[in-house]
Structure 1
Amino acid sequence: MGVLDLGRSGIDYDLCRYGDSRVRFRGPPRELDGDYVAFVGGTDTFGLFVPTPFPDLVEDEIGLACVSLGSVNAGADLFLNDPATQAVICGARVIVLQVMGVQNLSNAYYSVHPRRNDRFLRASDALVSLFPEIDFTEFHYTRHMLSTLEAVSRGRYGIVLRELRATWERRMAGLVEAAGGPVILIRFSEGAAGGALIDGAMLRRLADKVSVIVEVEAEPDPDPTWGMVFHPHEAAAARECLGAAAHDRAAEALIGPLTAALSRGA
């Protein structure tokens, strides 16, 4: 997706932090001393370029504070490695957890930045040995690095992909377990890159650990960026994100499962 300056975007995201976390989430900040629902995820949950993302739409419907813990390009590592954010998640009555991509996780082959999980930090000795022809100092982002590996050798890339998928399953299961409360998993068939690398078997294994999985399917749209706000130079990035219509569908799909989960915990 490239480098984005959220402070100069066409939308005021009202970025905020909770507790002593160094991670900035989409605001405005919600009060945490009462009941609330926590929305945990990456770019799709953050609602990049969308004036009213689905956590806000849900809040309007259920009348309960919805705390957005969406961070652009986040993977599960961001939440597992941030005690202040974990405390917010554990304090929620219900957690809505986005199915985030597999690529933005530290694993046996490479490390990512602890907060900006799309930033590639370093290759392990195992990855250097697997791809000796590649100079890994040239990469700054996981997406670019992985696409290069696939182009060089589909077979060796497949070895890395198996590790990424196994790591994703462990981390997502760990995130669900650490949440403590009921977890609703939400998966978008469009949106942030990396979701296509998650197959049905991976989701079925995770399904046993959550209350329900909500699937938000893509719908044909002649203008996928309808309802989005962005500068002309951000158009390519906007086309990779969920549009306003997808956020509407997500909110609609979540109301029933959320209402049921809140009723059970009343």
Structure 2
Amino acid sequence: MEYYPCRYGASRITFRGPRKSCEGAFAAFLGSTETYGRFVPDPFVAQVERASGLPCVNFGVVNAGPDAFVSDPVVPGLAAAAAHVVIELTGAQNNSNRLYRVHPRRNDRFVKASDTLAALYPEIDFSEHAFTRGLLRTLLDTDAERFALVTAELQAAWTARMKALIALLPAPVTLLWCAEAEPPETLSYAEGEPLGAEPLFVTRAMIDALAPLADDTVVYVRSDAARAAGTDGMTFSDFDAGAAGQLLGAVAHEEIAGLLAPLVARALQAA
């Protein structure tokens, strides 16, 4: 599958193309794997562009957290010039915080534990971990009570970073929740339990804290039809079949586009 990889200005992030002009009226889409449209030939960003008539720039990054955008030297400035910005609500695990640091562009890569995390989990050899999910899986399985302190820190850091990102954007902002289920009210984990589905560790209260800073909040939950369609309409190798099956799918992208297109079209009318 061809993603037409491209870059914008001095940014070191490779985005999905084709490369678009960021002059004149356009909409910017910031997000993670679903915004990027991994394995989806016609992602919702492209569909919104056709339906709304407003050029749409895909700034999605596979496995991104808000760090990928807040720390980038180019994307915030480009997005600030957009007529409308859609921000996918990403998981809280792929974000640097007081416990560990992630790679600035590949946010799912665990880089280093802080002294605080080392003191909290002295029995863990952090050199054995390269990805945030693997690290967190080990922390939960080691001690669920201490893991609650970890998730609380991740949630606080994510909320602060998201507020900082929104503050950089003068244009109307739409927050997008796209997942298998509604935002959870609370989190509770026990040793041996799964970490959960994306966006990991994000609760309704966290979204409510951001809502006053945004113009719209769109909550999309995959429909029965999209779930039944599975990977129909997606393009992937046999090696990637498992990863593709964990994503929302092509039908879900159509449904998300249907929700977002009227909001982006409204921005075109106001431009």
Q: Shorter-chain TM-score: what band? A: over 0.9
Selected match of 1:185 from 175, 192, 204:
175
Q: Is the 8 A contact 2:45 2:257 kept in 1?
A: yes
8 Å CA contact 1:47, 1:242 repeated in 2 = no
Q: Which runs of 5+ in 1 are unaligned?
A: 1-10
Deviation track 1:202-248 (CA, whole Å, cap 9, x = no partner) reads 11111010001011111222341111100001011111112001100
The corresponding residue for 1:207 is 211
The aligned counterpart of 2:88 is 98
Give the CA deviation at 1:162. Answer: 0.1
* 1:166 is aligned to 2:156: yes
- Local SS of the residue matching 1:51: coil
The one-character-per-residue Cα deviations of 1:148-203 (angstroms, maximum 9, x if unpaired) are: 11111111011010000000100011111111211011111239944141111111
Alignment partners' CA distance in 2, 1:196 and 1:121: 19
Q: Compute the TM-score of the two structures, normalised by the length of structure 1.
A: 0.93
Aligned identity (percent) is 42
CA distance in 2, matches of 1:256, 1:16: 27
Say which SS state the counterpart of residue 74 (structure 2) adopts: helix
SS in 1 for 2:5: coil
Count the aligned residue pairs.
255
Q: Name the CA distance, whole Å, in 1 between partners of 2:101 and 2:200.
A: 21
Q: Which residue of 1 aligns with 2:192?
A: none
Match of 1:56 in 2: 46
SS of corresponding position for 2:168: helix
The one-character-per-residue Cα deviations of 1:59-99 (angstroms, maximum 9, x if unpaired) are 01111110000011111001001121111111111001100
Q: Is the Cα contact below 8 Å between 1:102 and 1:194 reproduced in 2?
A: no
Q: Give the counterpart of 2:56 among 63, 66, 70.
A: 66
2:187 is matched with which residue?
none
Amino acid at match of 1:247: H
Aligned 1:97-116 pairs, distance under 5 A: 97-116=87-106
Match of 1:20 among 10, 26, 31: 10
Distance 2:51 2:6 in 1: 23
1:218, 1:176 → 2: CA distance? 26
Runs of at least 4 residues of structure 1 off by over 6 A? none
Distance (whole Å) between structure 2 residues aligned to residue 216 and residue 194 of structure 1: 13
Q: Structure 1 residues 189-198 or 97-106, which shifts more?
A: 189-198
Counterpart code for 1:248: E
Match of 1:131 in 2: 121
User: Does the CA-based 8 Å contact 1:103-1:194 persist in structure 2?
Assistant: no
Distance in 1 separating the partners of 2:125 and 2:251: 41
Amino acid at match of 1:219: S
Is residue 179–residue 198 contact of structure 2 (8 Å, CA) maintained in 1?
Answer: no
Over the aligned positions, Cα root-mean-square deviation in angstroms equals 1.4
Match of 1:240 among 246, 251, 257: 246
Which of residues 118, 121, 129 is equivalent to 2:111? Answer: 121
Q: Is the 8 A contact 1:187 1:215 kept in 2?
A: yes
1:19-54, CA deviations, whole angstroms, 9 ceiling, x for partnerless residues? 111100000001122210000001110000000000
**Matches of 1:144 and 1:239 in 2, distance apart?**
19
What's the counterpart of residue 265 of structure 2? 259
TM-score of the aligned structures, taking structure 2 as reference length: 0.91
> How far apart, in 2, do the equivalents of 1:146 and 1:107 lie?
13
| CA–CA distance in structure 1, aligned partners of residues 267 and 156 of structure 2 | 29
Q: Secondary structure at the match of 1:197?
A: coil
Secondary structure of 1:179's match? coil
Q: Give the secondary-structure state (helix, strand or coil) at the position aligned to 2:166.
A: helix
